[in-house]
Amino acid sequence: MTAPDDIWHAARWPPGWRVLHVAETGSTNADLLAAAERGDARDRTVLAADHQTAGRGRLDRRWDAPPGANLLVSLLFETVADRPTELTQRVALAACAAADHLAPGPPVGLKWPNDLVVDGRKVAGILAQRSAGITVVGLGLNVAWSPAGAADLGGVVTPPAFLARLLVEFDGLPSKVGALHRARLVTLGQRVRAELPGGAHVVGRAEDVDHAGRLVVVERTGARHVLDVGDIVHLRPDRG
């Protein structure tokens, strides 16, 4: 699947969004942050690319895909959310709703903190970056291609069509999304290993997410951990 310029130009974007498209760039997140600093990008500016040469996910992991196969996009917001994680949750929920509408199949769930998964396999990742009062939320979603062990939408929709639906779903979200986000989290109730920065880890049951979107993990000893960040591995129930 490819997403040439004419497909992007033909897309119908919902009101209030400014969508830009490039064939290739280093990172759409970095480009939007730089454009905002220059005054060239304002609230609800969106930048999509067919290919990224320096895209990355959480923990500086590289995010790459064949040109035109997947949705590689960043959204700029000037509005200040009530919680630091709210904008990432909103983009994640909008992506889930768009997938529900456009790609019938197994339901898309959320793996804490920012991954979209289908049957336990990653289909998308989200990375938010903040600078000088703005937030840029980047999404890499496997539309027609996925690496080994991951999932994709099977190429049933083009990247621009998926983005258009995502923006519609974003605008349709309620003022408070905490309950919706919690309902999509497949991490809750599972035995998990949380790999933390610096090499430490915590093993226990993912019991809850708090008002700030932090994950509450309780060890078998009863020790309770409230995690702002971490790489979560879902474990079998009989593992500890």
pLDDT digits (tens, 9 = 90+) for 131-182: 988 999 999 999 999 999 999 999 999 999 999 999 999 999 999 999 999 9
Is the pLDDT score of 93 beyond 90? yes
Q: Which of 211, 181, 170, 214 is nearest to 77 (CA)?
A: 170
Phi then psi for 165, rounded to 5 degrees?
Answer: -70, -40
Place 5 in a pLDDT band, splitting at 50, 70 and 90.
low
Read off the amino acid at residue 187.
Answer: T
DSSP class of 9 = H
Q: Which of 54, 49, 52 is nearest to 23 (CA)?
A: 49
Give the per-residue pLDDT at 61: 57
- d(Cα 148, Cα 124) in Å, to the nearest integer? 14
No. of helices (H) and no. of strands (E), the chain: 5, 12
Place 3 in a pLDDT band, splitting at 50, 70 and 90.
very low
Sign of CA dihedral 33, 39, 45, 49: negative
Cβ proximity of 211 and 83 under 8 Å: yes
More confident residue, 133 or 1: 133
Give the per-residue pLDDT at 189: 96
Give the per-residue pLDDT at 240: 44
Pull the structure tokens for residue 18. 């400014």
Read off the amino acid at residue 203.
Answer: V
Is the pLDDT score of 183 beyond 90? yes
Confirm whether pTM is higher than 0.85. Answer: yes
| Segment 193-209, tens digit of pLDDT | 999 999 999 999 999 99
With both helix axes pointing from N to C terminus, report the angle between 159-171 and 86-102 in degrees, rounded to the nearest 10: 120
- d(Cα 117, Cα 186) in Å, to the nearest integer? 9
Give the per-residue pLDDT at 6: 74
Give the per-residue pLDDT at 59: 46
